[in-house]
Structure 1
Amino acid sequence: MLHEISFHSFNDRDEVQGWVYVPACKPKGIVQVIHGFGEHSRRYFHMIVKFMDAGYIVAADDHVGHGKTAMYNNTWGDWGDAGFHTMMEDEHKLKEIVNEMYPDLPYFLFGHSMGSFITRDFAAKYGEELAGITICGTTGHFRGATEAETALLAAVAEGKGKESDPSFTTDLMGWMCERCGNVSIGNEWICSDPYVQKDHAEDPFDAFTKPTTNQSLLYFVQMMKAITGTEWASKVPSDLPIYNIGGDQDPVGEYGKGIYEVSNWLVDTGHNVKTRVYSGYRHEIHNYDDLKDEVEAGIVSFMDSVLNE
């Protein structure tokens, strides 16, 4: 069963477009899939089906400025004016809607890349409502984030928040193909498979190649800074089960260093976190043909283990 839903965004402007996928069996839990920067939730369809096959209802939406939500509202790359918590609050609204539809089921989050940042922000505010979280392709100290915030704050103060200066994106993320050899598209850092790169670049619902407003890019940087260090980790409930996964050739996680930074912040604040780093793989470990089944099975195993405790 598939439910298509729409709800008013925290930014008080957009109508967020979402979906609830229900398996044809008695569900044992719910997992909300939270997509990353410049993409959309249906890039996770293989994972969504695997979660359904494992007995989980799956909820997902396209963030403001992204995917079908951007198309519906004509707001590509513009996240509105309500601040960097907008997407996190939208994800919480989606959870409330799904809980009303299917009450009294354990609720998990899976977030990839920016989706992992949103998941971490969510856990710091609403973690008591969750059974567990999986963060995938996350970041520790993101290279250049502090400098980017300073420059973007200045641009917004000058009244250029709704403009899109590509130099800011280049300064923030232009280094991310440094280990990719020959670069022709600019997204090679996501996966070494050229078919995944091509699919990502040519997807009409993908905003990665579309301009992002300076203000929205500022929100993106502020989102990363808000989930940094033990100050963030101490806000996450200490008994929340956490599964932290990624590839050791992922620049977002500084090639493994950032992944362990996050796990260590959590351990230092009394959390029990399971960490799995896949050697030789870039950012989208769930899109490698030879790895995605293993990655998805690991997430299902983590969620099942929480339910069986």
Structure 2
Amino acid sequence: MLHEVSFLSYNKRDQVQGWIYVPACKPKGIVQLIHGFGEHSRRYLHMIAHLTEAGYIVAADDHVGHGKTAMINNTWGDWGNAGPHTMMEDEHTLKTIVQEKYPNLPYFLFGHSMGSFITRDFMATYGDELTGATICGTTGIFRGAKEVAAKIKEAIDAGKGKESDSQFTVDLMGWMCERIPDAKLGNEWICADPYVQQDHASDPFDAFTKPTMNQALYDFTQMMQCIEGTEWANKVPVDLPIYNIGGDQDPVGEYGKGIYEVTNWLVQTGHKVQTKVYSGYRHEIHNYADIKNEVEQGIIDFMDQILR
């Protein structure tokens, strides 16, 4: 069964577009899937199918400024003016909608890349409503984010918040192919598979190659700063099970360093975290043909263990 849902964003402007995928069996829990920067939720159809086959309802939406939500509202790269918690609050609204339809089921989050930042923000704000959470392709201290944020803030203060200066995006993320000297598309850091790269670059629902407004990019940097250090980790319920996964060739996670940085913040504040780093793999570990089934099964095993 598939439900299509629409709801008013936290930014009070956009109608967020979402989907609830229901398996043809008695569900054992719900997984809310939170996609990353510049992409959309249907890039996870393989994972969604695997999760539903395992007996989980899967809920997902396209963030403001992204995917079908951007298409419906004509707001590509524009996240509104409600600040860096906008997407997190939208995910909480989706969770409320899902639980109205399917109450009294264990509730998990899975977030990749920016989706992991949103998940971590959610964990710190509404973590007591969750059964567990998986963060994938996450960041520790994102290289240069504070310095770029200061530059963007100057442009916003000068009245250029709704403009798009591509140099800010280059400054923030242009270094991410530094270990890939033959990069041509500019997105090779996501996955070594050229078919995944081309699919990502050609996808009409992807916002990655479309301009991002200065205000949105600034909110992105602030989103990352909201989830730094033990100050963030202390806000996460200490009894919330967490699974932290990624690739050691992922620049977002500083090639493994940032992944462990996040785990260490959590461990230092009394949390129990399962951490798995896949050696030799880039950002989208769930899009490598040789390991995606293993990655997805690991997420399912993590949740199944909690439910036993």
The TM-score, its normalising length taken from structure 1, stands at 0.99
SS at match of 1:122: helix
Deviations 1:69-106 (A, max 9, x none): 00000000000000000000000000000000000000
The residue that corresponds to 1:8 in the other structure is 8
User: How far apart in 2 are the matches of 1:153 and 1:162?
Assistant: 12
Amino acid at match of 1:131: T
User: How big is the shift at 1:149?
Assistant: 1.0
User: How far apart in 1 are the matches of 2:153 and 2:127?
Assistant: 30
**What does 1:161-176 align with in structure 2 at a 5 Å threshold?**
161-176=161-176
User: How far apart in 2 are the matches of 1:70 and 1:291?
Assistant: 31
SS at match of 1:110: strand
The residue that corresponds to 1:299 in the other structure is 299
The root-mean-square deviation of aligned C-alpha atoms, in Å, is: 0.3
Equivalences, count: 308
User: How far apart in 2 are the matches of 1:76 and 1:307?
Assistant: 39
The residue that corresponds to 2:203 in the other structure is 203
User: How big is the shift at 1:22?
Assistant: 0.1
The residue that corresponds to 2:45 in the other structure is 45
The residue that corresponds to 2:250 in the other structure is 250
User: How far apart in 2 are the matches of 1:152 and 1:213?
Assistant: 10
User: How big is the shift at 1:21?
Assistant: 0.2
User: How far apart in 1 are the matches of 2:150 and 2:6?
Assistant: 35
The residue that corresponds to 1:104 in the other structure is 104
**What does 1:53-202 align with in structure 2 at a 5 Å threshold?**
53-202=53-202
Stretches of structure 1 lacking an aligned partner (at least 5 in a row): none
SS at match of 1:111: strand
**Percent identical across equivalent pairs?**
76
User: How big is the shift at 1:181?
Assistant: 2.4
User: How big is the shift at 1:180?
Assistant: 1.4
Stretches of structure 2 lacking an aligned partner (at least 5 in a row): none
SS at match of 2:59: strand
SS at match of 2:196: helix
Which aligned segments of 4 or more residues in structure 1 are displaced greater than 2 angstroms? none
Deviations 1:4-31 (A, max 9, x none): 0000000000000000000000000000
**What does 1:209-220 align with in structure 2 at a 5 Å threshold?**
209-220=209-220
The residue that corresponds to 1:221 in the other structure is 221
User: How far apart in 2 are the matches of 1:42 and 1:144?
Assistant: 30
SS at match of 1:51: helix
Amino acid at match of 2:84: F
Amino acid at match of 1:289: A
The residue that corresponds to 2:239 in the other structure is 239
User: How far apart in 2 are the matches of 1:133 and 1:148?
Assistant: 30
The TM-score, its normalising length taken from structure 2, stands at 1.00
Amino acid at match of 1:266: L
